[in-house]
Amino acid sequence: MGDPPVIDKSYDVVVIGSGAGGGTVAQELAPLVRDGRNVLVVEQGPRISPEECNGVELEMAPALYQDDGGFLTADGTMTLAFGRVYGGSTFVYTGTSMQPPERVIRNWNVPGVEHSDLDARARTFAAQNNVHFLADELINENNRLFVEGCRRAGYVAQQFPINVRGCNGSSLCNLGCPHGAKQGTHRKQLPAAERAGVAVVTRAEALRIEEHAVIVRVSEKPDGAKGQPSEWPPGDYRIRAGAIVLAAGAVGSPALLLRSQLPGLPRRVGEGFTCHPAHILVGEHPGAITNDVGHPKSFFVDRAEEEGYVLETCMYFPFTTAKNLAGFGEPHSTLMQAFPRLQMILVLACDKAVPGNRVTVGRDGTPRVHYRFTEETIAALIRATRASARIFFAAGAVRVHAPSADPPLLEAADVDRIDERIDARHFKPGKISVSAAHLMGGCGMGRSAADSVTDSRGRVHGMPWLRVADASLFPDSLEINPYLTIMALADRVAEGIRQDAGSFLPMNEAVSRW
């Protein structure tokens, strides 16, 4: 038996991926559809409805994330979380909505990328996504204790703007919102695009890119799996396109480019990967607090510029919490048994793009993320952990769990020894859990193929038909929660395509040309 037949299709524009970047491009290319062009989004994950989001950790994680949310870096010392579903990681994000930071965008130093421009575009999407501050009566004690602890310990806590509509405080954001309250691209931009005539096909994985074509495999819905079947019959497709927009995320986009082996591909594809490596810390209070009810992430401390870290409130589920606490046995269990009394803080390091931290592909074409913790990143995590310990104790915690302490539990009597107890010598990769969900870089913007993969509009150097429109465009880490900046950049990419559309040919002529 030979290979199954490949089904041919043609579109003016094919967008690969439907997350923060792809969903935005889909919506912003809708005017092309009105002008008679056709636009297609291919998404490898399924469409999942809010009703299917039941908050059960071990059911939802495999349905929504790549590798159940535990994609391991090549040396196995960090797990990466990213979505694999209609809406991409916006389906599982927490919805904190931050404007692009002026200092960081200036330091990126990409000709043509101005902070004021990104800021204005991000504001448009913030308005579209109903970004606002949660009302005071909806803030739970996990968040209030953070604010109080910060006040007493001398840190400035700020409230996160979040993008919810009708949030009932289930606290399950990272397992998919059961009420469709979070305004990710699956709720806003993709439905708008589809209403305007953009086609979206799910369970459709782009296997390879060729010049002006994408090879896509559409899969059957597995028995018992969540989500809808694909809109297209299962099979392999060769989709010809005037322009291809790569928005498969900071792991998926460079990996797809690398396995496609396009002649003339810029050498820097995959380089410059950053991810805000993070620890989950917990503080135990003497009495129960509201932690697993209420929106989980309402406040943060931004010490990115001064100390290279950001602290955020958070709340995780039993297995995720257990995995992220260091150690095992009695001390670990004691803390798990104290779940209703736990306050949680997520500490994120503002890592820098360094040589060697990059995405490659294995022999079978699957992505591999190589990541080494630099001394600076470790030092930032240590400073962040010490600050969090102070905040926990100031908020009234009787015990604090810090992975970079050995043993990891600090008692109230340790409050004057925090710097001594929490130390870089205890940061042992492979022993302690580090995870990341802000994946960035790999197709960075810049001046030319010598220093980057794309120009400031996401055009791959030397390949005007191929654009990138996702977090992989970041030339370095953003140092704050990234989705609005990704949308702003994707909007610029879509604008560039609309402007260039005149040079696209109508499909009937194009088919013979490509």
Ligand X SMILES: Cc1cc2nc3c(=O)[nH]c(=O)nc-3n(C[C@H](O)[C@H](O)[C@H](O)COP(=O)(O)OP(=O)(O)OC[C@H]3O[C@@H](n4cnc5c(N)ncnc54)[C@H](O)[C@@H]3O)c2cc1C
Beta carbon nearer to ligand SF4, 123 or 179: 179
Q: Which does 356 bind (CB under 5 to 8 A by kind): other proteins, ligand SF4, ligand X, none?
A: none
Cα 195 from Cα 183, distance rounded (Å) = 17
Q: Which amino acid is at 214?
A: V
Q: Does 220 bind other proteins (CB under 8 A)?
A: no
Distances (CA, A) of 331 to 138, 162, 281: 33, 35, 15
| β 435-436/299-303 pair status | unpaired
- Closest approach of ligand X to the CB of residue 21, in Å: 3
- Closest approach of other proteins to the CB of residue 511, in Å: 39
- Contacting residue, 32, 63, 177, 418, with ligand SF4 by CB under 6 A: 177
Beta carbon nearer to other proteins, 202 or 320: 320
- Closest approach of other proteins to the CB of residue 57, in Å: 7
- Contacting residue, 103, 106, 195, 323, with other proteins by CB under 8 A: 323
CA geometry: angle 397, 399, 405, nearest 5 deg: 130
Cα 255 from Cα 359, distance rounded (Å) = 7
How many chain residues touch ligand X (CB under 6 A)? Answer: 41
Is residue 5 reached through a cis peptide bond, with omega within 30 degrees of 0 on the bond before it? no
Q: Which residues pair with 227 in a beta bridge?
A: none
Asked if 383 and 279 count as a contact pair (C-beta separation under 8 A), the reply is no
Q: Which does 282 bind (CB under 5 to 8 A by kind): other proteins, ligand X, ligand SF4, none?
A: none
Q: Does 486 bind ligand X (CB under 6 A)?
A: yes
Per DSSP, the residues of 97-152 read --PPPHHHHHHH--TT--HHHHHHHHHHHHHHTT-BPPPGGG--HHHHHHHHHHHH
Q: Does 199 bind ligand X (CB under 6 A)?
A: no
- Contacting residue, 10, 94, 99, 388, with ligand X by CB under 6 A: 94
Q: Which residues pair with 132 in a beta bridge?
A: 162
For residue 494, what are its two tokens?
């879509």
How many chain residues touch ligand SF4 (CB under 6 A)? Answer: 13
Q: Does 420 bind other proteins (CB under 8 A)?
A: no
Q: Does 43 bind ligand X (CB under 6 A)?
A: yes
Count of other CB atoms within 10 angstroms of residue 317: 18
Q: Which stretch binds ligand SF4 (CB under 6 A): 172-180, 190-198, 234-242, 420-428?
A: 172-180
Q: Which stretch binds ligand SF4 (CB under 6 A): 17-25, 73-81, 174-182, 221-229?
A: 174-182
Within residues 244-303, the interface with other proteins by CB under 8 A covers 288, 290, 292-294
Q: Which stretch binds other proteins (CB under 8 A): 11-19, 197-205, 311-319, 390-398?
A: 311-319
Within residues 281-300, the interface with ligand SF4 by CB under 6 A covers 295
| Burial zone of 423 (CB within 10 Å; 0-12 exposed, 13-18 middle, 19+ buried) | middle
- The residue number whose beta carbon is nearest to ligand X equals 19
- Token pair 């129960």: residue: 288
First-to-last alpha carbon distance for the chain, in angstroms, is: 30
- Contacting residue, 317, 371, 393, 427, with other proteins by CB under 8 A: 317
Cα 155 from Cα 157, distance rounded (Å) = 6
Helix, strand and coil content of the chain, in percent to the nearest 5, comes to 35, 20, 45
Beta carbon nearer to other proteins, 291 or 485: 291
Within residues 402-431, the interface with ligand SF4 by CB under 6 A covers none
| β 79-80/435-436 pair status | parallel
Please report the sign of the dihedral spanned by the C-alpha atoms of residue 383, residue 281, residue 487, residue 160: negative
Within residues 46-85, the interface with other proteins by CB under 8 A covers 53-58, 62, 67-68, 70, 75-77
- Closest approach of other proteins to the CB of residue 10, in Å: 34
Strands (E) across 204-277 are located at 204-210, 213-218, 235-246
Q: With the CA atoms of 113, 117, 118 and 123 taken in that order, what torsion angle do they form, in degrees rounded to the nearest 10? A: 180
How many chain residues touch other proteins (CB under 8 A)? Answer: 48
Q: Which does 441 bind (CB under 5 to 8 A by kind): ligand X, ligand SF4, other proteins, none?
A: none
Cα 355 from Cα 458, distance rounded (Å) = 22
- Contacting residue, 105, 122, 126, 248, with ligand X by CB under 6 A: 248
Residue in 303, 297, 327 with CA at minimum distance from that of residue 380: 303
Q: Does 84 bind ligand X (CB under 6 A)?
A: yes
Binding site for other proteins (CB under 8 A): 53-58, 62, 67-68, 70, 75-77, 138, 167-172, 178-179, 288, 290, 292-294, 317-319, 321-323, 327-330, 332-333, 336-337, 339-340, 428-431, 433
Binding site for ligand SF4 (CB under 6 A): 164, 167-173, 177, 179, 181-182, 295
